[in-house]
Amino acid sequence: MEKRTVGFVGLGMMGQGMAANILAKGYPLVGMAHRNRVPLEALVAKGATEAKSPREMAVRCDVIVLCVTGSPEVVAVVEGDDGIASAGRPLTIIDCSTSDPSVTTALAARLAEKGITLIDAPLGRTPADAAAGTLDVMVGGTDADVAGVRAILDCFAGRVIHTGPTGTGHTMKLLNNFLSMGYAALYSEALMLGRKAGLTADTFDSVIRGGRMDCGFYQTFFRWVLERDPNAHKFAIRNGFKDMSYLTAFANAAGVANPVGAAVRNAFAQAVNAGRGEDYVPMLSDFVAEANGVR
């Protein structure tokens, strides 16, 4: 059976690996460049084609994958001038961005009136996993809609978890990132306190690694702390702040208190406001240490 044509918007650190895997699995791929043309040109060299706008992509594609920063960017790509919806074609959009669930559900309702299906499918793990095709994907949508795109998701996913109706994928992603950004804030503060007491990062690691508090996130975080590997966890502090801000909005809409979430958000807000937003998340440990007078 002939495979559907897939469009891809957002060829950043995660997106370029995902798109390469879709192409490698035999799907006709249409990409679009943003500021950096290098990932697109690498895909074109392997057989992909280029669209100059989201509208052109929608005319040519059956399914479009979005891997952009967040809700404002998603809405702009879909509903902006020359956006996907302006093509007036029924198709499926898979939103792999980390977005505000309330925006996702409202957008899905508007698109449904135009015959466009929106599935939220945010991601877990790292750019290395995107390239390896081993991402975790949390998918929100109807059973039939998710089944209809499952083969495409499997191109870049090691695990696909159907979380429920549209919007629940983005909700679960916020909770997942709350845990991971919470770990980052905890590790950073604990390392600073240990250093104040004369404990080195190596000593800290010798106690935690292999014990009950060890985990995959800890290990990538500490590849920066101990080895200064800048590629250990390529997720910007500004994106962590953005996600924690979405979590605050979600808690406010639900009418609940989230004091721990507020503390985590403030840790990231301080780093962003100090000009460290482009640093990667494990580098929060350096900022917290420096802010307290230690290395």
Positions marked active-site: 173
Backbone CA torsion sign across 71, 72, 73, 77: positive
User: For residue 107, how many other CB atoms are within 10 A of its CB?
Assistant: 25
Distance of CA 82 to the CA centre of its chain: 24
Helix pair angle (168-196, 284-291), 10° resolution: 40
At residue 249, φ and ψ (nearest 5 deg) are -65, -40
Rg of the chain on CA atoms, in Å: 20
Strand locations in 54-127, DSSP E? 63-66, 92-95, 117-120, 123-124
In sequence order, the 6+-apart residues with CB closer than 8 A to the CB of 15 are: 8, 39, 65, 67, 96, 130
Q: How far apart are CA 75 and CA 88, in angstroms?
A: 16
In sequence order, the 6+-apart residues with CB closer than 8 A to the CB of 259 are: none
3-state secondary structure of 124: strand
User: For residue 1, how many other CB atoms are within 10 A of its CB?
Assistant: 3
Q: CA separation (Å) from 14 to 65, 92, 106, 277? A: 12, 20, 26, 18
Closest to 181 (Cα-Cα) out of 240, 269, 106: 240
